[in-house]
Structure formats: C-alpha cells, structure tokens
Structure 1
Amino acid sequence: MENKVLVIVHVEPDFGSSAEDLVPFILRHIENNNYRRIINITSADALTGTEPFLEMAGIGDDLEWIWGGEPDCIPEDGKEFDNFILAGGHEYAEILDWMRELPKDCNYDICGGGRYECLKDITDIWSHLNLEYSVIENLTY
C-alpha cells in the first residue's frame, strides 16, 4: 500500500450545500484510490453538535479541529507562538497535537473546504510541519 493519506477538511452539514455536494465525489475518489489512512477533519462536535453527513460516517478517523482562533498572548515578532501560526485562511491557525504526530513519510491529499479559509489554514499548517501534500482542486469548495 502506498503512503498516501486523504485529508477531508470540513465536509459536514454545518458548511452547507457546498460541502454536501462534494460527498458523492469524495466517496467515489476514495473507492478509486488506495489510501493508507483517511482523516476526516470535523468541527461540528465542538461547535454545534451536528452529526456528520450519514454517507461520511465511519469512513476514516474523525479528528476535531476548529479554524482560526486567537492565542492568548501574541509575541512581539508575530511569527509563531505555542501552537498557533499566522495563516492565510484565518488570521491564526492552531496546530493540534494530533497534527504534530502525523508521519512525515506520507503524501497527503487534501480536499474539502473552504478553499480560501479552513482548507488554506490546513495547507499552511502542513507546510509549517514540513508535510508533503497536494490539494485535490476538483474536490474542494
């Protein structure tokens, strides 16, 4: 099996029809590719308690991450602080422990959204952690 990991970012009901429209295409992509692991990044449990799309339930490891946020104390150089980095989607993105534990020998395919918000924060985090990734453009919203 290849060292490929699929990372699905915020394809859940709280992100509306744009996220819902991707579900069948993501499921077809999974069927047609041999992934070592699938990571489904969600935020509904922490925010609203919304259940995932029924079709997405149980297809991978559901890992919680909420975009943005602002650290309690911003250092004078404004570069990096604790588990936060300056990011392109939201002003700050939090790097969680599970992200730091991801294997560096994998190739990460990232999809979902929002393309210029949460997904952008995730790619900024992956870059910061020196993880090799590519964005599957036709599977983003």
Structure 2
Amino acid sequence: MNRFRGLLGLMALLMCCTLSGCWSSSPVEDLNLETGIALDIAEESSQEKQINQEGGDYPKKELITGTFQFVIPEESGGSNSSSPQAKKFFNITETGDSVFEMIREISLRTNRPPIGQHLKTIIISSSLLRKIPLYELLDFF
C-alpha cells in the first residue's frame, strides 16, 4: 500500500511539473513586432525582371507590394536607449499575390517571426482598391 501511495505521489508531482509554465512563450527581443503596413499595386523590380528574362518565372500574379514596418524592441525602450538618433524601426518590402504570402516570405527572409498583434496602421492605395476588393485585402487581418 505504501508503494502505491508513493507511486501515486510521484505521478502527481510529475504531472504538476509538466503542466505548469508557459511552453510557447518567446522573448520580445526574438520577435518582429509589426506596427504598420502599406499596400500598393505591384511593380516588378529589376531583379525580378532579370530572373523572368532568364526563364525563371512561375505562375504568380504579383498583384500587391507591401511595405511592412517592424519595431526594434531593444531600441524602443525608455530612458536607457543607446542614442536618440537611432532608428527604432525597420521596413521590409515584399511583393506577392496576397498578404499571407508576403508575410510568409518575410518570415523566411528574416530570422524572427513577424507578429501582428501590435499592428496600428494599414495603408491601402486607391489604385490597388480599384483592382482588388477591400474584403480580400483585409481578410488576413
């Protein structure tokens, strides 16, 4: 009977150890925090033109160019910033068929996953809205 109680107590202790804590937490310094997005009609870059001329194209519409603004967490702190002239953000521009595809490409290009929970601004050009309905652009958000 003592063995059974000891085994039961050990199992309860192991369950408490494995069920407590936050397993999926990431330090804020390891994330790309999105604060703004600007969407416009896609324009083919010189690099994309060269790849297409060499026969490296594939069936992709390239409808949207998105500029994503990310906060630099270690620079956006309070009074102990390194210098007042330092930029507290960086921008990445991506072209794709949808917002989801662009964010997926950005997560592959950078070493930190983009997190849109702090997104404050979405700017959409009127020329893009003439081509693509608003609900299709904002469906991801």
Using the size of structure 1 for normalisation, the TM-score is 0.26
Greater helix percent: which structure? Answer: 2
Greater Rg by CA? 2
Question: Looking at both structures, which has the greater relative contact order when contacts are Cα pairs under 8 Å and sequence separation is at least 6?
Answer: 2
Structure 1 or 2: more strand by fraction:
1
Alignment TM-score, normalising by the size of structure 2: 0.26
